[in-house]
């Protein structure tokens, strides 16, 4: 029988010391990074311990409380959403302000555009960033161009689109993608990706307040893994402004979202093993991105490594690389390095080999230093 066969197989695994199924499972789901919380912010008042999804909830709660026109909608948001980012909001603000939609991403964004054009604050949730593509036409051809095509008579700048983004350890093809580069090609949008709870709340509130349609990608592996002391009161963080998290003199490391925590580990490894000083920059806003901060850093260090989970060909690292070599060509000591995902669909059991982990990035630094 199946059960007997399973028992026999399990017995064999126990007898074979190097083939322990439990250990393999545990190793398979070990994260490829260690979350490093930011220092506790002091400039925004009292703080509270929150993980990333709770900081998102806090930002949405603040918006609904302060803006009577604000509405939140998407698949399953009424009961709190699959990642619990809207939990409790329908009960607090009513079913007319927090409500479910049909399973139709094109309809969700199209509805959001209409709500925003009418003057209300629209916060749309796409359940996974992988499923934003059915709404691509509405975002790129309608939302991004609404102000331009009407000669600024109308706009949908009150629209913010939230979506869980990036690898999660077991998401495979359709729950792991990082599609920011698709939208980085589209004038009229802003694209933002936070690295942790403090940034998530401040940047999301900035997106909601910004008078341009914004896409806010949330690293879903950090929803529970990332915990920080987050200000309780509303606050905003500037868009299109990168943040230098660690100053250095030999190599500039640029990333965003989850990959920032990989870069922090790589910087420590480079210092300990190679004596190399790395400057770590969190881009935060993909479009429009902070060219000045990155280029100033590269002028100082002479080397640049960019890393993201999305496939390397046509990834946003290519745009950064192109601009930096145009602006900083005579300052470069080595070719710019891109350490990214492979040009394949996102792997399932091979995810540990697919992701640009600290060892791949470390090898990239070694190649640049030895160039």
Q: What positions carry a catalytic annotation?
A: 105, 175
166: left (phi over 0), alpha (psi -120 to 50) or beta: left
CB atoms within 10 A of CB 11: 10
Phi, psi of 50 (to 5 degrees): -140, 145
According to DSSP, the residues that pair with 74 across neighbouring strands are 100, 125
d(CA 124, CA 108): 7
Of 35, 40, 36, 34, give the one whose Cα is nearest residue 229: 40
Residue matched to tokens 């007319």: 96
Take residue 60 and report the two structure tokens written for it.
């949405």
For strands 285-287 and 122-125, give the pairing: unpaired
Helix or strand holding residue 253 (H, E):
strand 251-255
With beta carbons less than 8 A apart as the criterion, state whether 192 and 226 touch: no
Contacts of 12 (CB under 8 A, 6+ apart): none
d(CA 31, CA 51): 17
* Alpha helix positions (H), the chain: 2-15, 21-28, 52-66, 89-93, 105-117, 136-137, 146-149, 180-184, 197-209, 222-225, 259-274, 291-301, 316-328, 351-354, 358-369
d(CA 89, CA 125): 14
């Amino acid at each position: 029988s199946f059960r007997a066969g399973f028992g026999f197989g399990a017995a064999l695994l126990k007898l074979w010391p190097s083939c322990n199924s439990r250990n393999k499972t545990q190793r398979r789901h070990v994260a490829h990074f260690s979350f490093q919380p930011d220092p506790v912010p002091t400039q925004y008042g009292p703080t509270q311990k929150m993980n990333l999804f709770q900081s998102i909830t806090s930002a949405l709660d603040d918006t609904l409380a302060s803006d009577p026109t604000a509405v939140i909608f998407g698949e399953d948001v009424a009961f709190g959403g699959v990642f619990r980012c809207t939990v409790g909001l329908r009960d607090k603000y009513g079913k007319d302000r927090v409500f479910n939609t049909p399973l139709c991403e094109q309809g969700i964004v199209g509805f959001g555009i209409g709500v925003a054009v009418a003057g209300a604050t629209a916060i749309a949730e796409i359940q996974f960033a992988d499923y934003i593509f059915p709404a691509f036409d509405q975002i790129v051809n309608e939302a991004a161009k609404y102000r331009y095509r009407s000669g600024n008579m109308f706009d949908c700048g009150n629209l913010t689109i939230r979506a869980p983004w990036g690898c999660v350890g077991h998401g495979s093809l359709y729950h792991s993608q990082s599609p920011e580069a698709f939208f980085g090609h589209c004038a009229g949008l802003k694209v933002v990706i936070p690295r942790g709870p403090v940034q998530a709340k401040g940047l999301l509130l900035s997106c909601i307040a910004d008078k341009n349609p914004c896409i806010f990608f949330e690293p879903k592996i950090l929803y529970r893994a990332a915990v920080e002391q987050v200000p309780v009161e509303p606050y905003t963080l500037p868009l299109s402004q990168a943040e230098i998290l660690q100053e250095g003199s030999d190599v500039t490391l640029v990333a965003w979202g989850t990959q920032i925590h990989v870069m922090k580990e790589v910087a420590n490894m480079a210092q300990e093993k190679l004596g190399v000083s790395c400057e770590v920059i969190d881009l935060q806003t993909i479009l429009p991105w902070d060219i000045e901060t990155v280029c100033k850093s590269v002028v100082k260090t002479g080397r640049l490594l960019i890393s993201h989970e999305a496939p390397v060909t046509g990834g946003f690292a290519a745009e950064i690389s192109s601009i930096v070599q145009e602006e900083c060509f005579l300052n470069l000591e080595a070719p710019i390095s891109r350490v990214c995902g492979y040009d394949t669909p996102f792997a399932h059991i091979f995810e540990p080999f697919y992701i640009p982990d600290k060892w791949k990035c470390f090898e990239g630094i070694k190649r640049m230093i030895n160039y």
